[in-house]
Structures are given as structure tokens and as C-alpha cells.
A and B are shown apart, each in its own frame.
Chain A
């Protein structure tokens, strides 16, 4: 019997299906137990609502607009964090200036930033700003640590053979920085998405997932609230995977091209 169960759960797909089925059944049981659709809706009702929403063009417009805003903040943070992190690892004075600022950004609650941003800028830009503030410290710190982790003895070897700066960056620093950068990008994507949606909710941004969640809360549309939350979760997982795949493909190509040190 035990061997039969073990055979059934061999491979990843059956285990994932089992876990998903377990939580869906638990959700359904909770729905029956509570018995009030205003507090908990059934999985079937959420799925039905999702299908209704998916058939409407406005749904995709909201998802697209939210995605654009949050990705704008995310990529801006990745670029700024990477450049500033690398520069801080080189110039001690710059590090002394930026480090306390990053410490403050890390310690401040996201809600404070959102409310401050609402005072300073247009509500449509608040998610961009929030995503940027969430991702920037992670990328900055990881880049800084990555560059600092470069092997000193290898750097000395490169210096003794008068290896050029670009070659050093490409073949010495890049392999040290890549794992730190990948981790920062993956962690940052999830955070940017969640904080960006929270910013849209608080800013009640028009044409946005957060704005729809806010509306669902105001009109006590629990099915809508669950459906939009499901959209946020699915998008978060998809974006994180896509990001990891993109970085993996990019680093894979680098590995292959490094088969030719003078390929540049």
C-alpha cells in the first residue's frame, strides 16, 4: 500500500496537484463552515468571477497598466541600484553617503512611503515610486556585496599581468556579481509587485488592479476581492519565474560566450 502511494507521488506534477487540491478542499470546507459569502466565497465562485472578468477588455487594461507601472519602478531601481552599488564598492566616500539612506529606506514601513508619495506626486506615479523604493535597497546591497566578494588574489594576479579594466570586469567581477544580482532581481520582483499593488490600493489609482481591489472592498464585492487577489498572486509567481528564466538564459549565454575569452 505504502509503495503504491509512493509510486503515485513520484514526480513533481502529482505532488503539486495534491497540494493544490488539499488547499482548495480546505477553502471549500471553510466556505461551508462560515456560510456567509460576504466573508468567504467559494473557490468555484471565484473561478466563475475570474472568467467573467477575463472576458472583459477592461480587466486586461487594468492588469496591463498595473504591470507597466510596477515594472517601470522595478527596472528603474535595478538600473540605479546596480550602478550605484558598483560605484559604492569602488568609492568609500560614496558608500558612506548612500549606506545610511539605504538603511532608512529598508527600515521605513511601505505604508509611510505610499502616504508621503501621495502628498508629493500624482496618484498614477505612486506605484512606480513605491516599487522603486522597495527594490532599490536590495539591488544596491547585493551589487555592493557582489563586487566586494571578488577574489583579491585573482585581482592581484590580473594586475600583475596588466589585464585591462573591461576584461577584469567581464571575466573577474561579473561571475562574482551574477549570483548576488540574480537573487536581488528575483526577490525584488515579488516585493515590487506586492508593494506596487498596495500603493495602488492606497492611492486608489485609476485603471489598476489595486484600484479594483479598493472598489471591491468599498462595495463589499468579496468575490471580486478574491478574484483580483488571485490575479495578483498568479502575476507575482509568473513574473518571478519569468525573471529567473531570463537571467538564467542570459547567464547561460554568458557562460557559453566565455568559452571564448576574446569573443568581444
Chain B
């Protein structure tokens, strides 16, 4: 597998609490990668480093320089005074397309509603639509399906697969079944500091290797 992004000996601490210490990880060019681990082990910190929101105190991340990184945050982070359409177009250089992305996320009828008028699940859909509209080679998904029911989870995962087929999708989740179902590779993590306990193939990868023609 071609490795596109490489985290080398990364170090990051909040004050005197190290979250990343000599942490290394190789990530593929595309596909689903799942970071699975207990709360507070440093998964979100790692995603924030990948998004460039936190600077590593030591080490480096190679291969991200020319990549556009899109983020679905753990919280919705929508502008409460703006409509769903405005929230999507906020991250776009031009207005065109926002409504179309909302339609794809099943939110076409709610484009003119503001976040307080939407349910938790609907707000998650808007957040996913925003990230997909922004696009890019890397899609960071921090528990993106947490407020969705199982049917909606499937729909959202399919939407992401369909609209960002070539992107590397890094999914953080607490749901092992979800990790197994969606991911090609599952990294089982522990902390603190963040360490990789085990690397497993997800069901997707197992199915693909069993039926190569399916791919």
C-alpha cells in the first residue's frame, strides 16, 4: 500500500501532560482509516495536529503539505445565526453549490433553517455536507455519526464514500462495530501518551481481499 502521510516522532503536550510522545504513524493515500481508542487518549489532538490547528512540539508530519484537509468536528461548530446553506457556503469561495451539497446530505428541505431550528442529527448532516463541500485529499472525521441513528449512519458513510472516493478518510470513533464496518485499517490506540496497541484490518479490507473482483 502506498503511504501518503507519515507522522514521524511526533511530540505534543498540554503543559506538563504529554499527549504525543515519539508517536509515529503511516497513513495511506486514500481509503478509510479508523482511530479507535478510549476517551482522552489523544485521538482528537492527533486530528487537530493533522488539520494544522495545533503545531507539533517535536517531530513532523510529511505528505500533508499540498493536501487540502477537511474536518468534521466532534461538535457541530455551525454558525448559530446563519442558515444551513450559509453555513456550508461559509467555507466555499463562491456561493454556488451549497444547496446542492445539502440536498446530497438529505438536508435540501432544511437549507433555510438555522442550527437552533434543527435536530442534533440534522446538524451533523450539515456539518458533514460542509466538510464534503470544502473537499480535499484528507477528510478528518471526529465521531461524525455520534448523533445519528443506524440508518442515517449508513447513509452518511455511503455519501462520504460516494462524494470523496479518492480522499483519505480518518475516522475517530468509540464504536468498534462502526470501525470494523467502515474502515480498511483500524488502529487500536491507548494513552496517554498516545500509542498504537494493534493494527487490524477492517471488514471492508477483509471482504475486498476475499473478493478482489468486488472492488
Do B94 and A262 touch across chains, with their CB atoms under 8 A apart? yes
Do B71 and A161 touch across chains, with their CB atoms under 8 A apart? yes
Query: 1/0 contact trace for A138-180 toward B, CB 8 Å?
Result: 0000000000000001101111110100010001100100000
Do A258 and B81 touch across chains, with their CB atoms under 8 A apart? yes
Q: A160-B52, A161-B71, A260-B95 are in contact. Are A154 and B79 (CB under 8 A)?
A: yes
Do A160 and B69 touch across chains, with their CB atoms under 8 A apart? yes
User: Bound complex: CA of A163 vs CA of B69, how far in Å?
Assistant: 13
Using CB atoms, name the residue of chain A closest to B91. A161
Q: Does A11 contact B (CB under 8 A)?
A: no
Using CB atoms, name the residue of chain A closest to B75. A153
How many residues on the A side are at the interface (Cβ–Cβ under 8 A)? 18
A156 contacts which chain B residues (CB < 8 A)? 53, 77
Using CB atoms, name the residue of chain B closest to A153. B77
How many residues on the B side are at the interface (Cβ–Cβ under 8 A)? 21
Q: Does A259 contact B (CB under 8 A)?
A: yes
Do B91 and A163 touch across chains, with their CB atoms under 8 A apart? yes
Contact of A161 among B86, B94, B134 (CB under 8 A): B134
Chain A proximity of B110: nearest CB distance (Å): 15
Q: A156-B53, A160-B53, A160-B69 are in contact. Are A262 and B95 (CB under 8 A)?
A: yes
Do B89 and A172 touch across chains, with their CB atoms under 8 A apart? no
Q: Does A5 contact B (CB under 8 A)?
A: no
User: Bound complex: CA of A163 vs CA of B70, how far in Å?
Assistant: 12
Which of B52, B81, B83, B130 has the most CB atoms of chain A within a 10 A radius of its CB? B81
B53 contacts which chain A residues (CB < 8 A)? 156, 159-160
User: Bound complex: CA of A223 vs CA of B160, how far in Å?
Assistant: 79
Using CB atoms, name the residue of chain B closest to A262. B95
Contact of A258 among B70, B73, B77, B86 (CB under 8 A): B86
Do B86 and A160 touch across chains, with their CB atoms under 8 A apart? no
A159 contacts which chain B residues (CB < 8 A)? 53
Using CB atoms, name the residue of chain A closest to B86. A261
User: Bound complex: CA of A121 vs CA of B134, how far in Å?
Assistant: 58
Contact of A157 among B77, B83, B95 (CB under 8 A): B77
Do A261 and B95 touch across chains, with their CB atoms under 8 A apart? yes
* Residues from 241 to 264 in A contacting B, C-beta threshold 8 Å: 258-262
Query: 1/0 contact trace for B37-77 toward A, CB 8 Å?
Result: 00000000000000111000000000000000111010101
Q: Does B148 contact A (CB under 8 A)?
A: no
Besides A163-B91, A171-B90, 6 more A-B contacts (Cβ < 8 Å) are A156-B77, A161-B90, A175-B81, A258-B82, A261-B90, A261-B95
Q: What are the 9 closest A-B residue pairs judged by CB atoms, nearest first?
A: A161-B91, A262-B95, A157-B77, A261-B86, A261-B89, A160-B71, A175-B81, A160-B51, A153-B77
